[in-house]
A and B are shown apart, each in its own frame.
Chain A
Amino acid sequence: MSEILERVAGGVGQGVAKRENPEKVNGRALYIADLYRPGMLHGAILASPHAHARIRGYDVSAALAAPGVVAVLTGDDVGDGRMGAFIKDEHALAKGKTLYVGEPVAAVAAETEEQARAACRLIRVDYEELPAVLSPEEGLAPDAPILHEGLAGYFKVFDAGSEGNIASRSIFSEGDVDSAWAECDLIVEDEFTTQPQAHLAIEPCGALAEMDAAGRVTLWSANQSVFRVQANVCESLSLPMSRLRCLTPHVGGGFGNKMEPHIQPITVALAMKAGRPVKLILSREEDFEMVRARHPFRIRMRTGVKKDGTFVARECEALVDCGAFADDSPGVLGYALLMARGPYRFPHAKSHGRLIYTNKLRFGAYRGFGNPQVTFAGEQQIDEIARRLEIDPIALRRRNMVGAGEPWFLGQTIASNGLPECLDAVEAASGWKDGPKAAAAPGKRRGRGLAVTAHISGLLGTGAIVRMLEDGSIVLNTGATDIGQGSDTILSQMCAEALKVPLDRVSVASPDTDGSPYNWGTTASRVTYTTGRAVVAAAGEVERKIKEQASEMLECAVEDLELRPGGRVGVAGADKELPFAAISARAHWAVGGPIVGTNTLVFEQATHDPKRGVALGLPFPRIGVYSFGAMVVDVEVDEASGQVKVVEAWSAVDAGRAINPLLVEVQLEGAFVQGMGFALVEEMVWDGPRLANPSLMDYKIPTSRDVPAALHSIIVEAPEPGGPFGAKGVGEIGINPVAAAIANAVFEATGARQRHLPMTPERVLDGLLAHDAEDRS
């Protein structure tokens, strides 16, 4: 990486404010619910009251006659198209069958939202109830009712091994785990369970669709990818993609809930039927019941080591509840299994699992994507081993962690690895060996826990278009949806740095499937690295064209030219220079054509090296580029109630290169609190077939008073050779280790292992009392 002699205003490494913040703090940023179109109608959805039922027919006459109603939609109105990220198993609206309580069955467009909702209640659906499958175990039973009778005929993007109620299965291994146990001096084996968690982005899902006179539809929606919206809507409604243009307003958070479709296909279908624009915004309760949530996992894990602490073998078996539709689930299973070995050297490792359809809402992408669940299991086992061998937990990890140049599970070479520095950082910052700073107050117990993690940054396709406007300003278009995490700003910072222009001379186009290059989506912590690479490459092409122009205008060789901060190009070592405006004017009006740089790529590093291991049912053949993290937490357990409070936490992350350190910190802090909710408080609870707590009265997330006052974010930089300025992703790494670190701390405080999430006061009190009883006896 070359020296930058003069700082670029707002360039890489600076904690600049996000560019859209002035709009947001003045209440002027427009989100989907804030958009209005002339003649607009409001949509509402009728949700299925049954977990599993055939739909025999509909009577919509009363609904059609209700005040203000313009159109009513049922499964009969949508074609047979099926969508799905990995297995195309889902219609736009339930057709022929309903598979979960809350599934959209019909929809209404009316003049007001209240009228639309009232009319929905007048739709009569003739159901024939079927027995429901309410757990993966039930789904696997030999006589289980089958949810997807047409499963064999669904299109699958990978070798999923689908059959019966098994949506997919994956098996990955290296070495020979079955024989390796015999070599181990110590083996720990446990079963862990984790619970469904709701995303709870403060903005509920919504969409607004409008068809023009030529039959072309414009669709705005709360989304994490305008391109996934386009594909899903067109596949489910059997429309050619050229007939749908997808746009994005500001998005009020996603965390995975808005990556795959929610109600966009329904909204488009309603708008097409009504012949008028339709806006449909879900209530909070509908957002809970209708969309998606984090997968509950049942994990059986086994870790074996030598008595000197050298790791020998790890086996992870996962049974994952898919919910009614596959959505991103096969990816979550596969990714969890890929991460289950952890950032360690294990000569023998095997992870395998099955994903089972059940009659509950679909489980899908949620920050961490299976990693928080397997980390909860794996990092507790490492701690347990450390305890039994009487080796310090940090020392044990250091001895066995995988380093730069070594392979990740299944064989991809890790090019950059800041995990040692992350461990050093949290060890030093927390005063690890000294334990929690303050002694426990009367009636409380304190404990300290550690966990480490890794996460990917590179996945699937992306692109960038960098254009120079007539006056030398720059427009960047990547198609990446900024969901609030700041990708617009970060990518502009990269572009500004690459061209050495001040940040305020770079504007960013809003994602538009008509004008933007394809971007798979804002997910998987991938935008900084994957899209960043395209931005830097596209800017590189612009630089080349600037220099070609300049070499003619300044009559010198291209190699003699350098870009200078402020948007200038000049002859190195001389005063001769030109502003970009002059270059651009010549390009526009005289010679060469307007300057545009483009780049598209699909992440190319293979996940699996067949010489290293076996992979069956690998949903992502090319995924990788690893960020790393280490975390220490101090907890306080109330002896009377078992309630756990996090008192202080240190989260160190290897970001490769922090393009915007302020935004990296916010990712770590936000991820920590969301992880704390996962660890201690949040749980979607089913009462038979229906969700018992689909409301904010009953499903609680941490408030400002529930988070540790002292939350320390530490940025480590181990530059990734192929990364844009060395950067890697940081969106998810901060959530993965939270539950494990807290569980390890609770163990130290109470002497009891928590193998089930969330760690409610009841579970912790049970553990504490049982351990105290053992101690006494």
Chain B
Amino acid sequence: MSRLLHRPGSVDEALALLAERPEARLLAGGATLVAMRNAGLVDASAYVALDGIAELRGIEQLPDGGLRIGAMTRHRETATCGLLRDSLEVVRRAASMIANPVVRNMGTMGGSVANADPGADYPAALVCVDVELELAGTEGRRRVPAAAFVQDWYETALEPGEILTAIFLPPPRTGRSTYRKLARVSGDYAIASCAMALTGGQGDEEIAVAIGGCGPGPLRDVGAEAALRGRLDDPGALAALGEALVALADPIDDVRASADYRLRVIPRLVRATLDDLRSERRAA
């Protein structure tokens, strides 16, 4: 079989290649695809490398204060980007906890998000901050809200022939945010993770919480969050949020942890993450 590596210079060129060779695999950072190839799980006849496409690179601030992160942005860049502050800090922190520095030099946000590994770090952070994902096809481009992107285990809203091109973040809101990850060792996939943002003034604080690692996609309940507005220090109210998230959870037993443990740990993780943010505020 004749294997080919293509290196298109534009999104349109890449889309045309995919249309022409539907069996071709998109190569982003290689962290997942080449590992699968090495393990014999993928035997692609063609690779379409995306690293030659300028518009897919980099993090830029938009006129409305929001951010556009190109799909080929490496985790290292995201992890050190000063534009990701306040309510968006959670995305920066999540990036900094992916794997290890070497893999962060290679892996990309687009590659990671498109792969939709339930134990990955970006999904919860991106859902927490309400990003929109831009998908490009031969018919044009469309945007999908983060919460709707993951549709089932390892399945996303990406249609065959589409490429994830950018991640759009709303402008940062004043406040604090963080990402807390429970993993067996440094750099492992998460057993469970909590992305949390606190915004708004004293007495009227709003919380946004997304849980990772406990289902095909991140868990979030905006209704339960709204009920907590201004009442974050009420343990009963916080517990209700924890229970709401547990109700949405669909964890599995795997070698990292049992489903049962994940369910039990969700409310504890929420409480502990809030404690982390409170400590940071006190220390500041």
Q: Identify the A interface with B (CB < 8 A).
A: 117, 285, 442-443, 638-641, 643, 681, 683, 685, 692-693, 695, 697-706, 760-762, 765
Contact = CB atoms under 8 A, between A and B. Distances in A.
A641 B265 contact: yes
B269 A700 contact: no
B184 A640 contact: no
A699 B185 CA distance: 10
A641 B100 contact: no
B268 A641 contact: yes
B284 interface: no
B42 interface: no
Interface string B238-258: 000000000000000001111
A359 B35 CA distance: 30
B245 to A, nearest CB: 14
Contact of B255 (A693, A705, A762): A693
Shortest 10 CB-CB distances between A and B: which pairs? A640-B272, A705-B186, A762-B261, A640-B268, A693-B255, A700-B185, A703-B186, A706-B185, A700-B184, A698-B255
29 contacts: A117-B40, A443-B275, A639-B272, A640-B265, A640-B268, A640-B269, A640-B271, A641-B182, A641-B265, A641-B268, A641-B272, A643-B182, A681-B184, A685-B255, A700-B184, A700-B188, A701-B185, A702-B185, A703-B100, A703-B186, A705-B185, A705-B186, A705-B187, A706-B185, A706-B186, A760-B257, A761-B261, A762-B258, A765-B261
A701 B184 CA distance: 9
B191 interface: yes
Interface of B: 35, 39-40, 100, 182, 184-188, 191, 255-258, 261, 264-265, 268-269, 271-272, 275, 279
A693 B184 CA distance: 14
A776 B96 CA distance: 40
A490 to B, nearest CB: 32
B177 to A, nearest CB: 18
A675 to B, nearest CB: 15
B185 A681 contact: yes
A703 B271 contact: no
Contacts of A643: 182
A640 B182 CA distance: 10
Nearest to A769: B264
A697 B261 CA distance: 21
A698 to B, nearest CB: 5
Interface centre among A639, A683, A693, A761 (most CB of B within 10 A): A761
A762 B260 CA distance: 9
Contacts of B268: 639-641
B277 to A, nearest CB: 13
Given A641-B268, A762-B261, A765-B261, A692 B185 contact: no
Contacts of B269: 640-641
A285 B41 CA distance: 13
Contacts, number: 58
Nearest to A677: B185
Contacts of A693: 255
Contact of A765 (B40, B100, B265): B265
A220 B203 CA distance: 72
Contacts of B265: 640-641, 761, 765
A703 B255 contact: no
A133 B185 CA distance: 33
A637 B37 CA distance: 39
A397 B98 CA distance: 45
A681 B275 CA distance: 26
A142 B256 CA distance: 35
A490 B279 CA distance: 51
A442 B275 contact: yes
A497 B275 CA distance: 60
Contacts of A685: 255
Nearest to B270: A640
A692 B254 CA distance: 9
Contacts of A443: 272, 275
A695 B255 CA distance: 11
B223 to A, nearest CB: 25
A761 B185 contact: no
B257 A762 contact: yes
Given A700-B188, A765-B265, A692 B182 contact: no
Contacts of B40: 117
Contacts of B186: 703-706
B189 to A, nearest CB: 8
A639 B267 CA distance: 12
A43 to B, nearest CB: 17
Interface centre among B40, B188, B255 (most CB of A within 10 A): B255
A761 B256 CA distance: 10
B246 to A, nearest CB: 15
Nearest to A638: B272
Nearest to A683: B255
A641 to B, nearest CB: 5
Nearest to B187: A703
Interface centre among B258, B272, B279 (most CB of A within 10 A): B272
B100 A761 contact: no
Contacts of A761: 182, 191, 257, 261, 265
Contact of B279 (A442, A640, A702): A442
Contact of A692 (B35, B184, B255): B255
Nearest to A643: B182
B103 to A, nearest CB: 12
A705 B182 CA distance: 14
Contacts of B258: 762
A641 B40 CA distance: 36
A702 B185 CA distance: 6
A703 B185 CA distance: 7
